[in-house]
């Protein structure tokens, strides 16, 4: 997800069979919540267990399928080592 000068990676939780991209487009609340978050920006990288992002500030989104049953902490750790 891109928000201004920041790249944000994290998990959007949806019900079984739900579509994360639909949740981004058609949510009734102005904020989308992410868990196990990695934020990369001009100041470097930081992590958070939770982050609320205002939909109005999101300029790009890419869905990445990490596989059924993926461990969020393991995926976030992999992202840190690749950066």
Start-end of H helices in the chain? 20-26, 72-82
In 3D space, the residue among 22, 31, 69 whose CA is nearest the CA of residue 8 turns out to be 31
Is the pTM for the entire model greater than 0.75?
no
Q: Report the candidate in 2, 32, 8 with the shortest Cα–Cα distance to residue 20.
A: 32
Q: How many CB atoms lie within 10 A of CB 27?
A: 13
Give the range with max mean pLDDT: 16-25, 27-36, 70-79: 27-36
Closest CA to 38 of 50, 55, 29: 50
**Mean pLDDT of the 43-63 span:** 92
The pLDDT of residue 69 is above 60: no
| Percent of the chain topping pLDDT 90 | 40
Average pLDDT (4-25) is 82
pLDDT of residue 24: 73
Contact of 7 with 40, CB cutoff 8 Å: yes
**What is the span of the domain harbouring residue 43?**
2-82
Q: Domains in the chain: how many in total?
A: 1
């Amino acid at each position: 997800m891109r928000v201004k000068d920041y790249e944000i990676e994290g998990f959007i939780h949806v019900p079984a069979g739900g579509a994360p991209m639909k949740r981004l487009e058609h949510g009734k609340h102005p904020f989308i919540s992410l868990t196990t978050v990695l934020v990369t920006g001009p100041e470097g990288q930081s992590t958070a267990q939770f982050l609320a992002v205002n939909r109005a500030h999101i300029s790009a989104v890419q869905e990445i399928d990490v596989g059924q049953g993926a461990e969020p902490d393991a995926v976030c750790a992999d992202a840190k080592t690749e950066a």
